[in-house]
Structure 1
Amino acid sequence: MDSTRQHNLLLLMRVIGLHEFNYPEILNLVDQALTHISADRNKNFERLEFIGDAVLRLAATEFIDRHYPNISVGSCSSLRAQLVSDRWLAQMGDRLKLDSLLILGTKALGDSAARARLRTDATEALIGAIYAGSKSNLEPIHRWLTPYWQQTTVEVLEAPHHFHGKTILQEWSQAQGLGLPNYITDEQSSHHGDPERFHSEVRVGKRLRAEGLGRSRKEAEQNAASAAVQVIQDRDVTDAASPK
């Protein structure tokens, strides 16, 4: 590892608040976590990503148990799904500017549409590297991620329809005796990572229609459902404000 690479990785470790990890072992692991298989088939982030996936779920579970012990098990599962989601990981990687630190082979360098996926994988691998470098200790992960998880949790609890729109819409439609929402989702482009790659329209009987876009079918449908829930809430507010 050259001196410039080492300096940049040390800066990354300081940014995420892990000042004590300045020794070669952790730096080598972080370097590996930011190396794609297209650049090195023997030393890359695949195994650390595998470790990071499990570590992330366990750490997120502990975070919820520590800070939100009174919410229901169902709410815990829904919240954890947001705290470990690909979107959340990609956003974290963006905050850390991991794109500038990734070592990519020629093929991966040319696939700009896949950068969000690479950022997600590298962030997960970085979590695995910190866990492995701290001798299987979760506390460094908590020190790093807890402030961001707290922010996300507040957002989820204050506006759950932005995150759990499909569940909320389904519960509403069944309570109204309208059956299940119907989603029609089409692929609009073939570019991975395109935020408007998929378009989804959701209908609930003849009473409600909304649309959403997303990088995946799941995301587009979630966004369409969230838009539908917003329509319902706006109607409720209007009805409540109307003179009787």
Structure 2
Amino acid sequence: MGLWPFQRKKDVLGDRIKKAIRASFGFTPKKIDLYKLALCHKSHSKKGAVKNNERLEFLGDAVLDLVLADFLYERYPSKKEGELTKMRARIVSRECLISIAEKLSVGKEIPVRKQFDLPRETIIGNTLEAIIGAIYYDIGYKRCMQITLQAIRNNIDMDKVLEVNSDYKSMLQEWTQKKKKRVEYRCEEVTIGEDEKKFEATVFIDEEPFGNGRAGSKKNAEKRAAKQAWSKLSM
């Protein structure tokens, strides 16, 4: 018996993938066929067929490079080209991509034949790149960049991976100079409890408070305020 005109055949796989993308990346995909393709490894397609995720993996690899180049260029204005290239390479390393993919539960939706001899960890790392390619094609670069960076931040310690200088005051100073903004620290001594003295610092950017810090010395209080401000700017 055929379907009535007002009835639609249920897309079980599409619904499952849509739910998985929403849970892992925080948005609802529009063109679900792109994600079906992104999750189809070549071992699952017929010999010689192009209906697998390799082309989307190629696209996603390039998009990921651009997203990270964009992010690093903006976040580290004093870093030279060679340093930025090395920093990006650490994030897109196989080890990092596999770790991110596993935490995003990417592997649960990938149809792969059991006899295929490529390590499954490698497959899900490649598939993450294919998904990024699908996201870019589906909703455009700007949203893709936001979603990709959020997925990376949520699943790895980016500062630890990059091994960046943790002098947040200097980093904040460089950023405000580049943006032609004014940064100012205001600090006061406060009493905690009955007799414990602390310094509380607030950092202002163009007269707007961006971060607070409290410590036993004025210098350390300002450092903590700068770190909080930098975290807000990096979100």
Further displaced range: 36-45 or 55-64: 36-45
CA distance in structure 1 between the partners assigned to 2:151 and 2:79 by the alignment: 19
CA distance in structure 1 between the partners assigned to 2:162 and 2:60 by the alignment: 26
CA distance in structure 1 between the partners assigned to 2:152 and 2:89 by the alignment: 12
Q: Quote the offset at 1:33 in angstroms.
A: 0.6
CA distance in structure 2 between the partners assigned to 1:33 and 1:56 by the alignment: 15
SS of residue paired to 2:115: helix
In the superposition, the TM-score normalised over structure 1's length comes to 0.56
Q: 1:52-201, aligned counterparts within 5 Å?
A: 52-108=60-116, 111=117, 114-134=119-139, 137-150=140-153, 152-158=157-163
- 1:51 matches 2:59: yes
Aligned length: 151
Residues 71, 51 of structure 1: CA spacing in aligned structure 2 closer, same or farther, 3 A cutoff?
A: same
CA distance in structure 2 between the partners assigned to 1:88 and 1:3 by the alignment: 33
TM-superposition CA deviations, 1:139-187 (whole Å, max 9, x none)? 2222222235455431134479xxxxxxxxxxxxxxxxxxxxxxxxxxx
Residues 59, 73 of structure 1: CA spacing in aligned structure 2 closer, same or farther, 3 A cutoff?
A: same
CA distance in structure 2 between the partners assigned to 1:30 and 1:98 by the alignment: 11
Q: Quote the offset at 1:46 in angstroms.
A: 0.8
CA distance in structure 1 between the partners assigned to 2:164 and 2:64 by the alignment: 24
Q: Give the counterpart letter for 2:149 in structure 1.
A: T
Structure 2: gaps (5+ residues)? 1-8, 166-235
Residues 35, 142 of structure 1: CA spacing in aligned structure 2 closer, same or farther, 3 A cutoff?
A: same
* Alpha-carbon contact 1:38-1:106 (below 8 Å) kept: no
CA distance in structure 2 between the partners assigned to 1:87 and 1:141 by the alignment: 22
Q: Give the counterpart letter for 1:143 in structure 2.
A: Q
CA distance in structure 2 between the partners assigned to 1:159 and 1:62 by the alignment: 17
* Alpha-carbon contact 2:40-2:110 (below 8 Å) kept: yes
CA distance in structure 2 between the partners assigned to 1:100 and 1:144 by the alignment: 20
CA distance in structure 2 between the partners assigned to 1:67 and 1:80 by the alignment: 12
Structure number with larger C-alpha Rg = 2
CA distance in structure 2 between the partners assigned to 1:157 and 1:90 by the alignment: 17
TM-superposition CA deviations, 1:74-127 (whole Å, max 9, x none)? 22111100121111211121012122100113422xx4x701110111011111
Pairwise CA RMSD of aligned residues?
2.3
CA distance in structure 1 between the partners assigned to 2:141 and 2:94 by the alignment: 20
The residue aligned with 1:5 is 13
CA distance in structure 2 between the partners assigned to 1:28 and 1:12 by the alignment: 14
CA distance in structure 1 between the partners assigned to 2:88 and 2:101 by the alignment: 18
Residues 2, 68 of structure 1: CA spacing in aligned structure 2 closer, same or farther, 3 A cutoff?
A: farther
* Alpha-carbon contact 2:100-2:152 (below 8 Å) kept: no
* Alpha-carbon contact 1:98-1:119 (below 8 Å) kept: yes
In the superposition, the TM-score normalised over structure 2's length comes to 0.58
CA distance in structure 2 between the partners assigned to 1:122 and 1:28 by the alignment: 15
* Alpha-carbon contact 1:18-1:140 (below 8 Å) kept: no
